[in-house]
Amino acid sequence: MVEAHQTFVIVGGGLAGAKAAETLRAEGFTGRVILICDERDHPYERPPLSKGYLLGKEERDSVFVHEPAWYAGADIELHLGQPAVHLDPDARTVRLGDGTLIVYDKLLLATGAEPRRLDIPGTGLAGVHHLRRLAHAERLRGVLASLGRDNGHLVIAGAGWIGLEVAAAARSYGAEVTVVETAPTPLHTVLGPELGDLFGDLHRERGVRFHFGARLTEIVGQDGMVLAVRTDDGEEHPAHAVLAAIGAAPRTSLAEQAGLALVDRSSGGGIAVDAALRTSDPHVYAAGDVAAADHPLLDTRIRVEHWANALNGGPAAARAMLGQDVAYDRVPYFFSDQYDVGMEYSGYAPPGSYDQVVCRGDVAKREFIAFWLSEGRLLAGMNVNVWDVTEPIQQLIRSGHPLDPAALADPEVSLESLLP
């Protein structure tokens, strides 16, 4: 039973946290809502940091989830620039870095993730970068512009989404780009070899060099400046700056210290939550990048590090905190933009889960939809420069209905007509 005088605390002011706060008010909660974030900026969205904002095409103001004045208007109490440093689930308190102690009735952990660091000599050099925060994007934007002006070299460790998006941005500034990746193709674990290589070709055509099957072992520098990188197969690449884009780790330290159930790093990590996004403590919830949720539709526990999961997971957690019946079963979704190629991916098809990949459309022109199937059932679909198909793709995944691969591959057959 939620009462008017209760206090709901949200730790983490990213998209999940901000959307949860919005939902609490939209659902009529009249108690205190306190949002705590260690960043000084108001909650913002991160996708533009490797795309429009990095390219200088989007204004700083456009990345924020709400206008600053919205928080006061919605009576959300903000503690910005303040980390939550201690959580006591028995006393139901959270302590901030400045010593403030807050007592809560319900708590949402929306602490997101942080970039994984390279653990090799030279990582401390000033020319080694990460990309998670606005300040990182602003710094990197300056670096890319000056590399472009001076014919400088950027080495990117990691050919995942962020690595590739930054490679595209760097090329548009005119920088030389080499991407070093341990797998044999870009995006190997998400897309598999054939479709991963399609993104490889896209970048090669724009002058990006790849070094696959190799790992950085050293960043060589002098007087704080980066000069080159070395890889474990004995190669050396010139470099004036390095971006470590080797994935992100969920920020679980508060949950861990509080004794909440966590998921092993080998299984994806994160705070273990049920389908209502409730942790092992009944008064504490988790959403967004940090939450590893029981997914009713996929019938597995999954941690999704994507924008749409923060956008929808924050509100789902807020509704669960209000005592509503919640089964968070959204089909995972993400998007990416690189050069003139935009894509959307719906579903979940990890390596080994599918037995067939079929495409409809013109793969060579990069205008197509790829479908990942298991025994004829659709696990995932990716539309590349083809739009307005996310809904039928997600409905086909949700239906679990066996499909005729030939019909899926035929652009003359509408996706809607394949629904049961």
47 is a site residue for ligand FAD (CB under 6 A)? yes
122 is a site residue for ligand FAD (CB under 6 A)? no
162 is a site residue for ligand FAD (CB under 6 A)? yes
Question: Torsion over CA of 389, 390, 396 and 398, rounded to 10 degrees?
Answer: -170
112 is a site residue for ligand FAD (CB under 6 A)? yes
Near ligand FAD by CB under 6 A: residue from 231, 336, 383, 394: 336
Near ligand FAD by CB under 6 A: residue from 24, 63, 128, 131: 131
200 is a site residue for ligand FAD (CB under 6 A)? no
d(CA 368, CA 164): 20
Near ligand FAD by CB under 6 A: residue from 16, 155, 260, 317: 16
CB of 132 to ligand FAD, least distance (A): 5
111 is a site residue for ligand FAD (CB under 6 A)? yes
Sheet holding 93-96, edge to edge: 84-88, 93-96, 101-103
Phi/psi class of residue 118: alpha, beta or left (left: φ > 0; alpha: ψ in -120 to 50)?
A: beta
159 is a site residue for ligand FAD (CB under 6 A)? no
- Write the DSSP string, 219-268: EEEETTEEEEEEETTS-EEE-SEEEE-S-EEE--HHHHHTT--B--GGGT
**In this chain, which stretch among 117-125, 187-195, 210-218, 331-339 interacts with ligand FAD, using CB under 6 A?**
331-339
334 is a site residue for ligand FAD (CB under 6 A)? yes
In one-letter notation, the amino acid at residue 311 is: L
Which residue carries 């030389």 as its tokens?
176
Binding mask 340-379 for ligand FAD (x = CB under 6 A): ----------------------------------------
Q: Which of 338/395 has CB closer to ligand FAD?
A: 338
Give the three-class secondary structure for 16: helix
Measuring CA to CA, which residue among 258, 330, 347, 254 is closest to residue 293? Answer: 330
**In this chain, which stretch among 2-10, 23-31, 105-113, 196-204 interacts with ligand FAD, using CB under 6 A?**
105-113
Phi/psi class of residue 107: alpha, beta or left (left: φ > 0; alpha: ψ in -120 to 50)?
A: beta
Q: What values do phi and psi take at 177, rounded to 5?
A: -130, 130
Binding residues (CB under 6 A) for ligand FAD: these are: 11-17, 36-39, 46-47, 49-50, 83-84, 110-113, 131-132, 162, 251, 254, 288-289, 305-308, 310, 334-336
